[in-house]
Structure 1
Amino acid sequence: MFTMKNFIFGYGSLICPQSRAITAPSLSNSTAEPVIVNHIERTWSARINRRRRHSGLQKMAPSSVRGWTPVGVRFRRGAVCNGVLICIDEEELFRFDEREVGYNRQRIDVADIHRHVDSDILINESMSLWPTESTDQENCDDMTPSRARDNLDPGGVKCSECRLVFERASVKRRKITTVSGTIALSEECEEIAVWVYVQNENLPADRAYPISQSYVDIIMRGCLSISRDFARRFLETTHGWRHDEWLDQNDGNNTNNDGEDDESNDDRVSTLNRYIWVNDRHAPIYCRADFEYSLMNGKEIDELIQEHHPRALKLRVLAM
């Protein structure tokens, strides 16, 4: 009898092995496979209310700050998001359900899941930096861009369970079926479920619920443990670093423009909400922050952020 194989798509602090071990100790020795997922958009939009005795919040802003804003996700056609794929058992899945208060667990179509491949490899192969949906439904023997990407260094997949996900995803994208009409897949697994936790409310960061740099550092620590390119992909695919950018996203202007040449002020953004990002490295808001890591690696992280979000970084403040 076959059993369900469950996976979680981690798009925030779960990317970081050290943070993941604290959140779910049973996963401390699990392999997290870097992936790209189509049609999921990551934004600074999952507000968390302050804890009364949290020392970081007390030092940063004893009266004005009511909480902070980590990243959240939503399904959005045409969006793309990087993260990690983690195989978990049903017991751990239930524990995640209990921990993730304010989130709904939703299933991801495996056809939207792709292996992460560093940009230098893709450029050498003259391939797109981002995976695209295969449009070749008739000539399955042709090497479409999607299939070519799937065939890049198959031995590079470290998680054996995740290899089954990539196999299923590749087959489904090519729409190859057996005579009986079922998707051809390894006999070891009849069913695969990939889950993502989506916040119930989608609210932007603001002065009362700022972005915490100590939390950004934890995510970047995880990204950099995979590759510098993966860290850049995180910065590139995360939206809402500025309040006006979040408004643009929700007005249907699906861009992530943060060029230094555009210094205009958006009339929709109040003076207070112009400053939504706090550099709390000296007094972390985030409960699983690593003070020493931030101290040693903050400069490198800021340099990467500067490449992608220079305007937002200019507006980062030391206190609210």
Structure 2
Amino acid sequence: MQHYIFGYGSLINADSRAKTGQTGRSWPAKVIGFQRHWSVMSPEFGMSSVAVVQRSNSFCNGVLVEIDETELPLFDEREAGYLRAQVPMTQIQGYETTLPEGVVWIYHTETVTPPNDQAPIALSYADVILAGCLSINESFASEFISSTGGWEHAILNDRQQPRYPRVQTSLDTDLLKPHLEVVSAGRICTITSYHQAVSVMTNAPYCWEVRPFQPDDASQLVDIFRRAVLAIDDCFYTALERETWASSADDHEVFQQRFLSTKPLVVRSPNNCPIGFAEWREDGYIDCFYIDPQWQGKKVASALLLAVEAAVRELGATRLYANVALNAQGFFSSHGFIKGSTNSIKRNASVLINNTMYKPL
């Protein structure tokens, strides 16, 4: 009996299939009773993938791919984290041609985990799928877009630093752009080299630009530091503790010289003013990490942290770590950091408490 895989994501792309094993002919088709979503399937890659779940009265398009039964273990390895199940031929519908008979397999999941800032929809992966769809026709690509749930979540342009292990760098992304614009509505984040400007978009009404420090930023960063510290709630640090903490920036000249040395990453507002910054080292250590109180709660910190992570990954760091103030620990935990040791820092008559937190990369 001939075996087939119903591919509904990167397996639509013939070149992508060939990176895993040998396959034969393929036919454009629909599978009935399954719904396709973006879902976090491989968090170790820092991206989401498409997955299908069983849903009556639903369908998704894809390709019916001819495969020798001996090749299935290779594709099982590729689709680790998914469940492989047999689908009756009665649930497979061709577009214009009669489909062959045989045993059809599909890789599916039982639950969907929506994309997030740590595992966004990565364009390096979406490009491969859309290129495969366009090799069939434009309407097939449009149908992929319209029949896939989850586009409202974070989208990352990682083309210069691809997270998808089977990326196809030679694709003409201009051909894909019209289809992606339908779902992105300007929400695509871009992570480029640290030495260039870094534009980051999360699910917020702005596209944040995170760029390297410039000397003219120094006095504004000192002001952000002071105001951010003094705005911390009393439940975390007393007024005296906050004043003591903020007083470390009283000598502006020293602090400005520090910035010239550490060269932090800086987030700018839509009117080009610095609204946050982070000092970091090549080994993944984050030192100062402060957001202007007026811009807190608008995903600025998420954008900044994403940019720091991109920078240290580029330099080969294997983890991020920081000594995190009590008020910021919830934020860092939500971004995958794990709490470690408790630290006591004596400043004048005050003792400030924080925790070392780290995130493996």
Report TM bin, short chain. Answer: 0.5 to 0.7
1:94–1:282 distance in 2 versus 1, CA, 3 Å:
closer
1:318 to 185, 190, 198: 190
Distance in 2 of aligned mates of 1:98 and 1:281:
25
1:300–1:113 distance in 2 versus 1, CA, 3 Å:
same
The letter for the 2-side match of 1:282 is Q
The letter for the 2-side match of 1:111 is T
Other structure's SS at 1:284 match:
coil
CA shift digits 1:89-118 (9 cap, x unpaired): 22112332344321111121221211124x
Distance in 2 of aligned mates of 1:200 and 1:76:
10
1:288–1:99 distance in 2 versus 1, CA, 3 Å:
closer
Q: Paired residue for 1:213?
A: 123
CA shift digits 1:63-100 (9 cap, x unpaired): xxxx1101111111111100000122221123323443
Q: Give the 5 Å matches for 1:51-70.
A: 67-70=46-49
Q: Contact between 1:47 and 1:205, CA under 8 Å: does it hold in 2?
A: no
1:14 to 11, 14, 18: 11
Other structure's SS at 1:299 match:
helix
Once the two structures are TM-superposed, the CA of residue 201 in structure 1 deviates from its matched residue by: 4.6
Q: Paired residue for 2:26?
A: 32
Q: Paired residue for 1:116?
A: 95
Q: Contact between 2:6 and 2:64, CA under 8 Å: does it hold in 1?
A: yes
2:74 paired with 1:164: no
The letter for the 2-side match of 1:281 is R
The letter for the 2-side match of 1:299 is D
Q: Contact between 1:212 and 1:279, CA under 8 Å: does it hold in 2?
A: yes
Q: Contact between 2:48 and 2:115, CA under 8 Å: does it hold in 1?
A: yes
Taking structure 2 as the reference length, what is the TM-score of the superposition?
A: 0.50
Q: Contact between 1:282 and 1:291, CA under 8 Å: does it hold in 2?
A: no
Q: Contact between 1:15 and 1:223, CA under 8 Å: does it hold in 2?
A: yes
Q: Give the 5 Å matches for 1:1-320.
A: 4-24=1-21, 26-27=22-23, 30-50=24-44, 67-117=46-96, 154=97, 163-165=99-101, 192-199=102-109, 201-243=111-153, 276-293=154-171, 297-306=172-181, 308-309=182-183, 312-319=184-191, 320=306
Once the two structures are TM-superposed, the CA of residue 50 in structure 1 deviates from its matched residue by: 2.6
The letter for the 2-side match of 1:234 is F
Q: Contact between 1:277 and 1:315, CA under 8 Å: does it hold in 2?
A: yes
- Whichever of the two has the greater Rg, that structure is 2
Once the two structures are TM-superposed, the CA of residue 40 in structure 1 deviates from its matched residue by: 1.0
Aligned length: 192
Distance in 1 of aligned mates of 2:18 and 2:69:
18
Q: Structure 1: which 5+ runs fail to align?
A: 52-66, 118-153, 158-162, 166-191, 244-275
Distance in 2 of aligned mates of 1:102 and 1:281:
24
Q: Taking every aligned residue pair, what percent have the same amino acid on both sides? A: 36
Distance in 1 of aligned mates of 2:173 and 2:78:
29
CA shift digits 1:6-39 (9 cap, x unpaired): 2110011111111111022x22xx2111101111
Q: Paired residue for 2:212?
A: none
Structure with greater contact order relative to length (CA < 8 Å, sep ≥ 6) = 1
Once the two structures are TM-superposed, the CA of residue 46 in structure 1 deviates from its matched residue by: 3.8
Distance in 1 of aligned mates of 2:165 and 2:78:
15
Q: Structure 2: which 5+ runs fail to align?
A: 192-305, 307-361
Q: Contact between 2:41 and 2:49, CA under 8 Å: does it hold in 1?
A: yes
Distance in 1 of aligned mates of 2:69 and 2:40:
25
Distance in 1 of aligned mates of 2:57 and 2:43:
31
Distance in 2 of aligned mates of 1:100 and 1:242:
24
Distance in 2 of aligned mates of 1:314 and 1:98:
35
The letter for the 1-side match of 2:70 is E
Taking structure 1 as the reference length, what is the TM-score of the superposition?
A: 0.56
Other structure's SS at 1:23 match:
coil
Greater strand content: 2
Q: Contact between 1:47 and 1:209, CA under 8 Å: does it hold in 2?
A: no
Other structure's SS at 1:164 match:
coil
CA shift digits 1:192-232 (9 cap, x unpaired): 32110113552110101111001111011111111111111
CA shift digits 1:219-255 (9 cap, x unpaired): 1111111111111111111110114xxxxxxxxxxxx
The letter for the 2-side match of 1:75 is Q
